[in-house]
Structure 1
Amino acid sequence: MTSKMLTPLALYEQVAEQLRQRIFRQELEPGVWIDELKIAEEFGISRTPMREALKVLATEGLVTMKLRRGAYVTEVSRKDISDVYHLLSLLEADAASEVAGKASDEELQRLKQIHDELKQQTANSDRFFALNESFHMEILEIANNRWRIQLVADLRKVMKLNRHKSLFKQGRIEDSLAEHDAIMQALLERQPHIAMNAVKQHFRNGLEAAV
């Protein structure tokens, strides 16, 4: 594995991001013990920023710290996934309702551009996942509640531990895009109640695929 030297500025945050991406790519799989010494040596750092990085990931739910055993990539149960989807449904449906009622034409067009590009990226999984998340997060940005944005961002990190299993199920990408179409249409027509229900349906269907 190639060594990746990191700069001193906010070193533990850089280490956390490196590990976060490895977890999302499942290079570090759920349940795997994280070898602190090996990774610290690979990055050319001491164990102090490594431990601080692991604390950050633990607060995000991506890493589980076990007494006298070290850090492990979090394994998510069916209940964990169900709980995360439930909260995301509530928070994002509420945001969509607000966006339908107050977004500017320019904001909705920006959102539609993301949606349109998403539909063109079904063959590129990494780009598809990135745009899919951008679509959801753009709705929250337009709604402009920083506490809701923070909560959703953290919940989505946990959801990514399971995302490949859900969207790669036969037909799920196509169904997901159709659900996005319904959300986008409700927003463009400025129908708050319909937008809210479309988001809730999107998450209900996503949960069925995830578990």
Structure 2
Amino acid sequence: MNAPPPLAPRALYEEVAEHLRQRIFNRALAPGDWIDEVRIAEALGISRTPLREALKVLAAEGLVTMKVRRGAYVTESSAKDMADVYHLLALLEADAAAATAERITDAELAELRALHAELEAAARAGAAGREHFFALNERFHLRLLEIADNRWRLQMVADLRKVMKLHRHNSLLKTGRIADSLAEHGAVMAAVERRDATAAAARMREHFASGLEAAA
């Protein structure tokens, strides 16, 4: 049997989109900032064509807003926007938590336990572990979604979480929120360990309700 052809390298515009996406997530480009296409293209050593294609990708994700004759801006989300995003995430991830509780294998449960243990360690590290906590928090949620095994739900959540990241620090940086978030993850874990789908969904909805309150 012939070996499959090697995967094509990622298109330049996709690399540029990821570069800008990370700059938006780490606040190098803050909500409301104008995106200076000329300066960015020069800094990256590229033409404006792949940059504009990258901006179209980010606009489709909701991270960038294109304004007629004014260019591209990092999206500013209103309180209603965030409430709407959290509402949809609560519905989708609660449903995933229930499905996970029903179908999770012992090996997958061990993975979630290990991720939760890492979350606990990052929380204990205080400010030094904050960024690691953010990353682990997302990994925990996405692994739960993967176990629930619905690729359409996973894609919808991935897109919504990109918008949520515009305000991520607003919630998790509040005093006591990381500890509260960790406790809420623990409650979800406990329900999943009991294979209690109803409780897993309820605890996940409560988790998002708390997150929205902290983000306000």
Distance in 2 between residues matched to 1:125 and 1:35, nearest whole Å: 30
**CA displacement, residues 157-211 of structure 1 (integer Å, 9 cap, x when unaligned):** 0000001010111111100000000000000110000000000000011110011
Secondary structure class of the residue paired with 1:76: coil
What is the TM-score with the length of structure 1 in the denominator? 0.95
Secondary structure at the aligned position of 1:100 is classed as helix
One-letter identity of the residue aligned with 2:23: R
Query: Where does residue 107 of structure 1 map in the other structure?
Result: 108
The aligned amino acid for 1:87 is: L
**For each residue in 1:87-128, what CA deviation from the matched residue of structure 2 results, as whole angstroms up to 9, or x when unmatched?**
000000000001101110101110111111011112312211
SS at match of 1:71: strand
Equivalent-residue separation in structure 2 for 1:30 and 1:135 (angstroms): 26
SS in 1 for 2:166: coil
Equivalent position of 1:76 in the other structure: 77
Q: Aligned ranges for residues 170-185 of structure 1 at < 5 Å?
A: 170-185=175-190
Number of residue pairs matched by the alignment: 204
| 1:29 corresponding residue in structure 2 | 30
SS of alignment partner, residue 73 of structure 2: strand
Confirm or deny that 1:56 pairs with 2:57.
yes
Query: Aligned runs of 1:4-153 on 2, under 5 Å?
Result: 9-122=10-123, 123=126, 124-153=129-158
Q: Secondary structure at the match of 1:162?
A: helix
Question: Structure 2: how far apart are the matches of 1:208 and 1:37?
Answer: 39
**For the residues of structure 2 that align with 1:84 and 1:9, how far apart are their CA atoms?**
29
Corresponding letter in the other structure for 1:170: T
Mapped to 1, the partners of 2:181 and 2:132 lie a distance apart of 15
Mapped partners of 1:146, 1:101: distance in 2: 17
**How big is the alpha-carbon RMSD for the aligned residues of Structure 1 and Structure 2?**
0.8
- Secondary structure (helix, strand or coil) at the match of 1:86 reads helix
Q: Normalized against structure 2, the TM-score is what?
A: 0.93
Per the TM alignment, residue 52 of structure 1 is displaced from its structure 2 partner at its CA by: 0.2
Q: Report the equivalent of 1:160.
A: 165
SS in 2 for 1:72: strand
Alpha-carbon distance in 1 for matches of 2:70, 2:164: 25
**Deviating more after overlay: 46-55 vs 120-129:** 120-129
Unaligned stretches of 5+ residues in structure 2: 1-8
- Identical columns (%): 64
Q: Once the 2 structures are TM-superposed, how far is the Cα of residue 9 of structure 1 from its aligned partner?
A: 4.6
The answer for the alignment partner of 1:5 in structure 2 is: none
| C-alpha distance in structure 2 between counterparts of 1:168 and 1:89, whole Å | 21
Q: Which runs of 4+ in 1 moved over 2 A?
A: none
Distance (whole Å) between structure 1 residues aligned to residue 100 and residue 31 of structure 2:
36
Q: List runs of 5+ in structure 1 lacking aligned partners.
A: 1-7
